[in-house]
Amino acid sequence: MTGHSKGPRLALFNPFDPAQPLAERELALRLGRAMAGLGWQAAIHSRAADVAAMDPDAVLCLHPQATPKLTAHPWLACYWNPPSLIEAGSATAFHHGRAFELSHDAYLVSGPGLAAHLAARMALVGRDPPVLPFHVSSPRSTLAPNLGPQSRLFYVGSNWDGRRYPQVLGRLAAAGVLALHGTADRWSHLPDAYQGSLPFDGSAVIAAAHHWGMGLCLHLPAHREAAVPNMRVFELAAAGAVIIADRHPFIEQWFGDTVLYVDPVGGEAALAAAILDRVAWIETHPVQARAMAAAAQDIFNRALCLEVLLEPLPDLLADLQRRPVPAQPSTVAVLLPPGGELDSRLAQLAAQAGQGLAVTALLPAGDAPASIPAGLSLRLLDGPVGLPGLVAALAGVEMLAILPAGVEWHPGHLAGLLRATGKAGAALAAGLWPRDTVDQGFPIDPAEDRTLPPPPPLTIPADRQGERAWLHAAGLGCRVVRLRELGELPGDWLELALNLAPALAARGPVQEIPVPSLRLLRPPPFAAGQLGCLLPWPEPSDQGSERPPRLTGLNDLDPALAASIPFLWRAADFAALPGTGPIWLYGAGQGGALVRACLPPTIRPRLQGFLDSERRGELLGLPLARPQDIAAEEMAAATVIIAAQYVSDILRVLSGGPVRPAHILNAYPYIAAKQAEGDR
């Protein structure tokens, strides 16, 4: 996908399988169309090798929690995922995602809430990266409103996390007002409303919304909490469709009374009734409804289409590409421990020099080269191996760095290290290594062959500790004064180089730079027994508090209500259930089975069976009943354990019945934890 050549050349990086019908694929195609209209060049890639071959001016990463910066080009993170969605994933995905999102050079951010969250995270690592406003929008559109006799309420979704809004969509389908598009197997439970799949080609979704003339825009609670819009409102505005949306801060601020609103926090039954009421109003007020659609599209085209959002991007890229010049000339010395590839390493050092930065190569006396590249100085270490000889060789030098064999530094690596040493006197740049076969916790793992090592508190595999030490050595920058704090480090020059970073970290602070500026090209050539000589990286003194539980499913419309009742998180929690009366498990799916299996022998005799909102019969050898089927005196004494993802809706059912149970407990945190264990 290309345009003319008067603007920047950009790689649109989708870290997921591009064949998957995911939002990142659709966003990439829409960005490509908008950029072509601006006269820019854009190409969609999913592998760092393809980005390197293209050699773009910059890379726009469409899911920065799924991949770090992977090449030396400027990487811009499209930052549009609410933090609570990342937190709701597995622990592995959560910790990788937290590290990955810090590793980009600049950020295109969806809304002030996310901008504040990002700024707080960056402050912890000493960064203040450039930021531009951005949303997962659509290209500018001239489609006229198309409300008419054919109109139904357009709704599209991949439904990647299960059956969303089952009562809402079921009732709309039963009323004959819903036109549902998406993957067939994800919507097979609503055959009367299903209108077929749509190609994720950047335009088919908008064309379908235009055909139906009106559409439904619903957000996960996480999106409303973070004031981050999803793609739907922009698609519907571009399509000239009448928009029915849940109350969302962004939509109310930007679209005002051009949208018909519904309140999502009263439960699914109330939400469905409100949507049907808005549909009825549209059908009886078509002229006013079409005028609202036209006004919403005008707002979109003037302020929110992709072309408008992208306009400031060239200026940001120009700022990123201006390499900072040191305030005064500086000298950096780089230790080249034995290991081969001397000529290529010297060439790398020469490429780092210039613009006020002088670079000196430090080599053991026996490794002196026949010649050195222009612009590079050389000092030979002709005394005994050890820190005293190294410190003596650093006279007049501000910072020491290390370049072992098999490592590639990005342009500007040394200058960045020198700036980062600051008050700590030592800095450590992140580095990329070959990706292991172990996944990083995402439902669809990136196809990339390189990544960052697992961040704390995740563990480095035992067979990769040597690679981690190699990256620590290659990423280290140290002011000479910090070296004088250390005692003697035994071993040869290579062992000293590999042990210097952990020795410094054990004695004082080391400023970690989350943006990778180097990569390991191949496994390091360790000699027999050399791994046993490596110093361990010091453990953090404070691992932080344990992550809070997930209290309800992602699609629960009222997470605050779900949080209002006691929860069960650990298996031990089920040994201390309140009351002495009967126990019913509200959940006839996997959650109910998981909770039943964990009930201890002392509690299990109280279990009477399972509850479901609609079904009756038998499940796992126990009665399956509806709440209204339970006798009032039994319900008044019962402990009901919610074992499903729609906690707030179930709580409303139980609270609104003739008799409220004696105790209502939420076991969703336990279920989510068990499911996360199964995913690892």
Q: Is 538 a residue whose pLDDT tops 90?
A: no
pTM of the model: 0.85
- Contact indicator for 414, 334 with CB cutoff of 8 Å: yes
Per-residue HEC secondary structure of 103-116 comes to: CCCEEEECCHHHHH
Residue 23: DSSP 8-state = H
Ordered structural domains, the chain, with CATH? 9-137 (3.40.50), 152-304 (3.40.50.2000), 330-436+464-523 (3.90.550.10), 559-679 (3.40.50.20)
Torsion sign over Cα 500, 506, 508, 509: positive
pLDDT surpassing 90 at residue 180: yes
The 3-state DSSP class for residue 313 equals: helix
Per-residue pLDDT tens digits for 557-582: 888 888 889 999 888 889 989 888 99
Q: What is the dihedral of CA 601, 606, 608, 609, to 10 degrees?
A: -40
pLDDT, one tens digit per residue, over 229-241 is 999 999 999 999 9
What is the length of the chain? 680
Average pLDDT over residues 71-89: 90
Using alpha carbons only, what angle is made at residue 66 by residues 61 and 69, rounded to the nearest 5 degrees? 50
Cα(676)–Cα(44) distance, integer angstroms: 32
Which stretch of 7-21, 430-444, 463-477, 631-645 has the lowest confidence by average pLDDT?
430-444
Q: What percent of the chain has pLDDT over 70?
A: 93
Mean pLDDT along residues 215-232: 94
Q: Tell me how far CA of residue 339 lies from CA of 125, 343, 385, 468, in angstroms.
A: 33, 12, 16, 17
